[in-house]
Amino acid sequence: MAKTQGRHGEVAVDILTDFPERFAERQRLYAVDPRGARRELRLENFWPHKERLVLKFAQVDSISDAEALIGCELQVPKSERTQLEPGVNYVGDLVGCQVVVTGDAVRVVGTVTDVQFGAGEAPLLVVSDGRKEYLLPFAAAYLQRIDTVAKTIEMSLPAGMLELDAPLSREEKESQKPNSS
């Protein structure tokens, strides 16, 4: 949740769903704080405001009550999720998937640890191999297969994309040094 909104416990949230109108059907939601602690909330009302939604929860009646929710991620219980059409996935189902790049050779890149929005047209998969983090565009052009049950995402990436953030080799560093004459 992004910020408090008003004086009666309302919070403004960034819209990360393709179905904001479904808040009208939802009453039970969960706030998950950065440490992973979950708090059940009952939605009383919601309305659009600028580029966000404003939510009013039961028993969240003051600015200080609302401040406790800032930084939390709002989640719908899995059992109450809307069935998605084929080829569409929930972000939470992508986290934990192993990313495999296909092409000349098959390469396991790492595991999806997060999904970032707002950096461009496509969300970015944050993929970690335990030593390095990669930001890979979650774009249809690169996706080969997604199996959220098997926790696997197969991608075909342009040559060199995984090396974009790679440290320079010794030879590359030497070639960038100014010539001493």
101 and 42 Cβ atoms separated by less than 8 Å: no
90-99 confidence digits (pLDDT tens): 888 899 999 9
Asked whether the predicted pLDDT for residue 110 surpasses 70, the reply is yes
Domains and CATH numbers, the chain: 3-78 (2.40.30.60), 91-158 (2.30.30.240)
pTM of the predicted structure, to 2 decimals: 0.66
**Non-local CB neighbours of 160 within 8 Å, separated by 6+ positions:** none
- Percentages helix, strand, coil for the chain (3-state, rounded to 5) are 15, 35, 50
Task: Say how many residues make up the chain.
Answer: 181
Strand ranges (E), the chain: 3-4, 11-14, 28-32, 38-49, 52-57, 73-75, 98-101, 107-116, 124-128, 133-137, 143-147, 152-155
147-169 confidence digits (pLDDT tens): 999 999 999 998 888 887 655 55
User: Can you tell me the distance from the alpha carbon of 102 to that of 144, in angstroms, rounded to the nearest whole number?
Assistant: 8
28 and 35 Cβ atoms separated by less than 8 Å: no
Asked whether the predicted pLDDT for residue 101 surpasses 90, the reply is yes
User: Can you tell me the distance from the alpha carbon of 106 to that of 89, in angstroms, rounded to the nearest whole number?
Assistant: 24
97 and 152 Cβ atoms separated by less than 8 Å: yes
Two tokens at 127? Answer: 């993929």
